Structure 1
Amino acid sequence: MSDTASTPEDQELQDPQLQKAVIVALRPGQPPRVLSEAIRYAGLLSAALVVVHVDVTRFVTFEDPDGMVHSAPIDLNIDTGAEEFAELRREVEKVLAGSGLTWTARQLVGDPALAIKHLAGALDAQLIVVGTRSRGIGESIREFFTGSVAARLSHRQSRPILVVPLEEPIADDKKDPWVE
């Protein structure tokens, strides 16, 4: 999805090797476990890996009949999402260098669950991999307003979703983090 004319990445999505891919949604600085699990499952399924970053600072304005998505910034600092995507791509390239795995990275815009769902449909993805949210009041507030991407995906599409914990599990005698 892009707000410019057709790019090599758009053409790349038509590549038959990317059909039935494993999609992994990542953010810069996210614990490496999410990517590691996605790589493992891509290998187990003999599938390509599509790494996605969703720029939530932009929203979809309209979509052409051919699937081309046009977007506009919410914030005046329109480079934030591009900078995050470039950083993420560098992190992923380091991990996947020499792996032999077919992969690509894509920047999506807007609502994360809907953007990932749309891409998964276009690729007929076998699996979607996402991480859990971080603990803390800030993340709890964010999730209150936006909802859990994993939960929203599970209710809006029929593909399997692997939810990878980002942190150590909470002890059984502790309060659930969403109760904070």
Structure 2
Amino acid sequence: MSESETHLDDGPIVVGVKPGIPLRIIETAERTAASFGCEVVFAYVELNSALVELDDTELRTRESLDPKMDDEMAGVAAEVGDMLEGALAGSEVSWSFRVLAGDPASALSRLAADLSSRMLVVGTRRHGGLHRVEEFFAGSVAKSLAMGQDRPVLLVPLSRIDH
């Protein structure tokens, strides 16, 4: 990539989603994609799964991000897919949905790299004590992506009314 080129020149927008995600994140991604004239790839990372290859030195394949899902995981993925279908009904933006495996920040980052994504879109953490405890133990996906990316990350703030 030359100095004059940026990730904003081409590629889709990758958006991290999960069950119950506020519509504000989906709408922000849709409007951003419309303004760029690009596709949106929504991605849900299944936490109860692992990557096919765990060693950074091994050859990675397209299948390595895809989890082997049981019925419960498939149900959650279907719920997220249905939510996206409803939120994007009538949208002129081309979009797709992926279910990934592993650590959310790593999986989203890797998908963005594999797709030559122009940017990532994720929500920030919710307010409140319970969410701070969750972030302490699990870490913040938004923070991990913002600190460890070579492409832009659009952070959509969540307010108290978004949950």
Q: TM-score range by the shorter chain?
A: 0.7 to 0.9
Instruction: Report whether the alignment pairs 1:62 with 2:53.
Output: yes
Quote how far apart the aligned CAs of 1:168 are: 4.2
- Percent of pairs with identical residues: 35
Does 144-153 or 131-140 show the bigger shift? 131-140
- Could you report, residue by residue, the CA deviation over 1:122-158 in whole angstroms, capped at 9, with x for unpaired residues? 1111111101112233221221122111111122221
- Cα RMSD of the aligned pairs, angstroms, is 2.1
Cα distance in 1, alignment partners of residues 134 and 153 from structure 2 = 21
Identify the residue that residue 135 of structure 1 maps to in structure 2.
127
For structure 2, which runs of at least 5 residues remain unmatched after alignment? Answer: 1-9
Deviation at 1:72, TM superposition (A): 6.4
Contact 1:61-1:72 within 8 A present in 2 as well? no
Q: Number of residues paired by the alignment?
A: 147
Q: Is it true that 1:39 corresponds to 2:39 in the alignment?
A: no
The residue that corresponds to 1:13 in the other structure is: none
TM-score (norm 1): 0.74
**Structure 2: distance between partners of 1:140 and 1:79:** 30
Match of 2:42 among 51, 63, 73: 51
1:87 to 1:71, Cα distance in 2 relative to 1, 3 A? closer
The residue number in structure 2 matching 1:174 is: none
Q: Does residue 101 in structure 1 map to residue 93 in structure 2? A: yes
* Counterparts in 2 of 1:65 and 1:52: CA distance versus 1, 3 Å: closer
